[in-house]
Every structure is written in structure tokens, then in C-alpha cells.
Amino acid sequence: METICAIATAPGGAIGIVRLSGDDAISLTEKILDRNLQEKVTYAHILDNGEILDEVIVTIFRQPHSYTGENTAEISCHGSPYILQRTMELLIAQGCKPARPGEFTQRAFLNHKMDLSRAEAVADLIAARSKAQQKMAMQQMRGNFSKSLSELRDQLLHITSLLELELDFSDHEDLEFADRSELIALAKTIEEKVSSLLNSFKLGNAIKHGVPVAIVGKTNAGKSTLLNALVGEERALVSDINGTTRDTIEDIVNIGGTLFRFIDTAGIRRTDDIVETMGIERTFQTIAKADIILWVIDAQDSKDVLKELEQQMRQHCDSKKLICVFNKTDLQIPQYIPKGIDTVSISAKKNIGMDKLRDLLKVSTDIAPAEDVIVSNIRHYEALCEARTSLERVQSGLINHLSGEFVSQDLRACIQSLSEIVGDITSQSVLNNIFSHFCVGK
């Protein structure tokens, strides 16, 4: 394989690492140094037209004992952007190619160092912003998900081989190697396992992208001010003019180790204005997408106004966690408190009561770093959905005494869906798409 190189560290650190992988990784690195790389770790100087560019430590890994499975070298330079860039230029002048995003991990996959779902977990681990995210990615990277999938595939292959064996003896019409009721039970057990993986996606998604929280309420209740107070930066547009917050704005905040994804919306308000009405529609759509609803109420609002909105909110929030946030309590104490709903009094503008609100958010979700395998990747989710559909067909085929030929086709489709997750059967375009989302240098 041709040798690739990339800066593997983020700018700003004391040390910066340039990484190489490929057949000539070690010999190419030697060409820009003042000595040969005999040892695993070598202290050396990078030479630039005879002058010393930097004092560096070079670590080498000979194939196949490396991350990519190829010869690799890691040059630890001082973290100067100039030194790192110049080192890259010197390597490229020697024939190295700049690496594409994720190319090191893609090579690791192609060299069978890891399966696809484990390679994807590498990207998740790099992006982890909370303990739950780190733990979930680590589970996947350690291969626990792949292991569960391979167990399921083995069981499916077992059923398929029994059915296909029967087909080979199709002259003997009443010959059955496998008891149908046992096969149906086995298919059902596999389907239940696939379903439980699918069910974990909601949790996986919340861990990866944050628990979705909708911030709703009438225009001018202080939703944008609240979002800013939660995010700690002036992100959302704050305005005195009714109806300015038209577009949905999202921000992710880490509260006590859990990520929350706040979605600000246009106010819920009775109106004939078409644009406003669209905003209101969107509010209800946002509520549908969220797990927790922060209903922001201007504490100065009258009891009658509140009671009318209360009905709408209870209707739309149904099975969701609804929290009443009385805002502007620096101006007025609430006139009316709805019954049976968690309530908190704050002033978003004066930063009063915010810790209480954060505590309430924390106890409203049960996201904890889990020991089990959790599905968090949409590609895996879709493949598992297909697998479940095939399994349903397998079961109904067996129940309805369909010819083994058809049942085995559905079984093979199911095995294929599960194989796509670990990358046994994957098209080049899918691979390119996956690795293009990695950072350069990984």
C-alpha cells in the first residue's frame, strides 16, 4: 500500500504528532531524519535542507503489529503549526501522500484489524463528550456488539443449513431434518434479540446526540433568554418583538454528565398570522420529537391565559415529561400553579433558580452509562430493521408451511443485513461515506 501521512493531533498542544502508514512508512521517515530507526522509539532530528527543523521522538510499529496492520511511524514534534506543516511537506516531497479523513482506520478495516462497527466506534470515541458516550463507544469498540451479531448469524446459518439440506433431499417429500416448531421458536428468539437491540436505539441516540428537550411557551415568555442561560453563550436570538424566534435552534449542553439537546421554538399563541401558525405547528412537532418539555411561562401571565394553555399542553405532552418553568419571577410571583406537574420558579435574565431547573432535568432522565450493548448508529439501526422484517417473513413462512426454498431466501436476506453492520458485505460507496466523516489523522 502507498504510504500516507497526516497530522494526528489538534492544534494548540505542546506536542504534535505526524503519523505515517504504508509499506515505506519507516524508510520514508528515515529520509527526513539524521539517523536510522532501529529501535521502537528513537530520539532524532528532522533535517530541512541540512538545518535542524526540530528535535523529535519517533515511534515505529512494524506490520502487522500496528493500528492499520501496515508499517507505521509516529513522529512526536513540538506542537508548532509551522513545524508540523513543514514536516508534512518534507514527507510529501519524499513521496508520501496526504491521508484522507479516516484513511488510517479504513486501512485497519481493510487489513482485518477490526470490523466495520468497531471502526465506526473509533469515530464515536473521539467525539465522546460524556461518560455515557465514552462507555457506549468503548463497548462497541471492544467488539461486544459484533459478538452479539455474530452469535445471531451463527444461529441463522444453522436454521438455513437445515432447511437447505432438506432441499437437497427434495425427492423424499416428507423428509424433515428440522422440527418446524423448534425452528419457529428459534426464529422468534432471534427476532426478540434483534428487537431489543432496536429498542436500545432511543437510548443510544439520546446518549450520542443528547436527550431532546423542547423549550416551548408563548412568545416573549423568555425561551431564548432561558436557552442562553442554559448554554452560557448568547446563541439564540433574543428580541422584544413578538414572534421573532421563528426558526428552531438547537444547542447541546452537558449537565451533570448527561448531554441535553435543547430545542427552542416559536411561541404557542392563538393567531391568524400564517407564518406564526407555521411556527405553532412546528412547536407541536418539536414536542413530538422531545422527551422532556420545558413549558416556559411568564409569571406575569393571568390565571385565565394559563388555564387555556394548560389544556393544550397537557394534551400535546401526553406521555412526555412536562416541566412548568415560571420565568420572570424577579418581577412577579406566579399567579396560578397547575396541579400534578413539576414546577420551578426562575429568572432566566437574572440567573435565579437555574440550578434547581438543572437538577430537575437531571432527575427527569434515567440515562446512565450502561453495561449492555446499545445501538447508536443509524446505519446499524436501519440494517437491524431490515433484519427484523426478514425474520418476520421467516416465521410466517414456517408457520404457513411455505417451501423451504422461500424461507431460506428470507433467512439469507436476514444474514446479509446483519453482515452489513460488521462490514462483511459492504459496497465501496458505503465505506467511503462512513470514513469521510472521520477526522484526518485517524
Q: 127 vs 238, which CB is nearer to ligand GDP?
A: 238
303 is in an annotated binding site: no
425 is in an annotated binding site: no
246 is in an annotated binding site: no
Q: 346 vs 411, which CB is nearer to ligand GDP?
A: 346
User: From the CB of 298, what's the least distance to ligand GDP, in Å?
Assistant: 8
239 is in an annotated binding site: yes
Preceding omega of 64 cis (within 30 degrees of 0) = yes
Cβ contacts of 108 within 8 Å, gap of 6 or more = 67, 68, 69, 114, 119
Q: 241 vs 274, which CB is nearer to ligand GDP?
A: 241
339 is in an annotated binding site: no
Q: Which residues bind ligand GDP (CB under 6 A)?
A: 217, 219-225, 238-240, 245, 267, 327-328, 330-331, 347-350
154 is in an annotated binding site: no
Sign of CA dihedral 432, 434, 440, 442: negative
Cβ contacts of 320 within 8 Å, gap of 6 or more = 287, 290, 291, 292, 293
- Burial class of residue 39, CB neighbours in 10 A (0-12, 13-18, 19+): exposed
255 is in an annotated binding site: no
Q: 48 vs 250, which CB is nearer to ligand GDP?
A: 250
Name the residue with cell 523529535: 56
Instruction: Give, as one character, the DSSP assignment of residue 347.
Output: B
267 is in an annotated binding site: yes
First to last CA, the chain: 17
Q: 204 vs 267, which CB is nearer to ligand GDP?
A: 267
Q: Give the max Cα distance, the chain.
A: 88
Contact at 8 Å (CB) between 132 and 372?
no
223 is in an annotated binding site: yes
User: From the CB of 229, what's the least distance to ligand GDP, in Å?
Assistant: 8
User: From the CB of 287, what's the least distance to ligand GDP, in Å?
Assistant: 15
User: From the CB of 343, what's the least distance to ligand GDP, in Å?
Assistant: 16
In angstroms, the CA 160 to CA 168 distance is: 12
Instruction: Name the residue number minimizing CB distance to ligand GDP.
Output: 222
Q: 84 vs 230, which CB is nearer to ligand GDP?
A: 230
In angstroms, the CA 196 to CA 210 distance is: 21
Name the residue with cell 435565579: 352
User: From the CB of 206, what's the least distance to ligand GDP, in Å?
Assistant: 25
Q: 120 vs 251, which CB is nearer to ligand GDP?
A: 251
User: From the CB of 228, what's the least distance to ligand GDP, in Å?
Assistant: 8
- Burial class of residue 174, CB neighbours in 10 A (0-12, 13-18, 19+): exposed
Contact at 8 Å (CB) between 68 and 21?
yes
Q: 283 vs 395, which CB is nearer to ligand GDP?
A: 283
219, 242, 246, 298 from 239: Cα distances, Å: 10, 8, 11, 15
In angstroms, the CA 200 to CA 114 distance is: 23
User: From the CB of 236, what's the least distance to ligand GDP, in Å?
Assistant: 7
128 is in an annotated binding site: no
User: From the CB of 113, what's the least distance to ligand GDP, in Å?
Assistant: 50
Question: Residue positions in the annotated binding site?
Answer: 19, 74, 113, 220-225, 239-245, 264-267, 442
Question: Residue positions in the annotated binding site for GTP?
Answer: 220-225, 239-245, 264-267
